[in-house]
């Protein structure tokens, strides 16, 4: 690990890999809010989106909204390509988009592409995955293998909807079987019409607590939230905390 010095104090850099219980669990909103929370706590923070599909052509090249949020809320910010070294246009599974673009994705090639980002000396480093925990890179490797290679603690975003308990328990089991620790979890209210949400949330709190996994916050469903809006995101950030 590296050290960063601010106002005469030395703080150890902490690296986390953020994943979700499924696609659309709210990983990017939580990632951006955690980066914002670090700034609110006077900590430097860097957001890394190693591979992003579903991007748009701009005058500066392909740009992905999720990765732009990482850049926006990192402090200090870096050039876009450092926040998102592999940017793919089709909004499909990253390994398929990479194949279509003629890119050979492996843990080694992705680690090399992310070298500049992984070397950033910020006090908090957040790596956001794609989809769920076992999203493929190729026929044999997944983004989980990339997370293991970085030795990162894992933050799990649990999208609160029908089936979330099963998805959360299975994901934690897979993370632990891979040899990584789940450093913390966030409950994210993605379904405003979820039945028995409080009962589901109560079970999740008890289950994670029994495993000694920190609760890093609960975010209610927020209709129409625009993560690009600094004031709106600050309200979400106030509900969160980084794992210790």
Residue among 237, 238, 242, 198 nearest 216 (CA): 242
Residue among 156, 215, 162, 163 nearest 192 (CA): 162
Contacts of 218 (CB under 8 A, 6+ apart): 186, 187, 188, 189, 201, 239
The DSSP element (H or E) to which 27 belongs, if any, is helix 27-40
Distance, CA of 54 to CA of 63 (rounded, Å): 9
Beta bridge partners of 14: 124
Residue among 124, 150, 104, 95 nearest 4 (CA): 124
Which are the catalytic amino acids? 49
């Amino acid at each position: 690990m590296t050290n960063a010095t601010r106002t005469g104090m030395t703080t150890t850099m902490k690296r986390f890999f953020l994943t979700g219980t499924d696609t659309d669990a709210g990983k990017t909103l939580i990632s951006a809010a955690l980066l914002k929370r670090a700034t609110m706590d006077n900590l430097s923070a860097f957001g890394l989106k190693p591979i992003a599909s579903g991007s748009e052509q701009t005058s500066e090249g392909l740009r992905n909204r999720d990765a732009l949020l990482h850049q926006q809320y990192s402090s200090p910010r870096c050039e876009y390509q450092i926040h998102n070294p592999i940017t793919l246009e089709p909004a499909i599974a990253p390994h398929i988009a990479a194949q279509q673009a003629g890119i050979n994705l492996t843990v080694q090639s992705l680690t090399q592409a992310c070298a500049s980002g992984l070397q950033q000396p910020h006090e908090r480093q957040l790596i956001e995955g794609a989809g769920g925990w076992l999203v493929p890179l190729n026929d044999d490797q997944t983004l989980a293998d990339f997370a293991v290679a970085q030795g990162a603690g894992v933050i799990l975003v649990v999208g609160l909807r029908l089936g979330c308990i099963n998805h959360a328990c299975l994901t934690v089991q897979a993370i632990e079987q891979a040899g990584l620790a789940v450093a913390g979890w966030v409950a994210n209210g993605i379904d405003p019409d979820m039945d028995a949400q409080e009962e589901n949330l109560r079970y999740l709190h008890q289950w994670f607590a029994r495993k000694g996994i920190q609760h890093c916050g609960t975010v209610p469903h927020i209709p129409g939230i625009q993560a690009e809006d600094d004031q709106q995101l600050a309200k979400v950030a106030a509900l969160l905390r980084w794992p210790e």
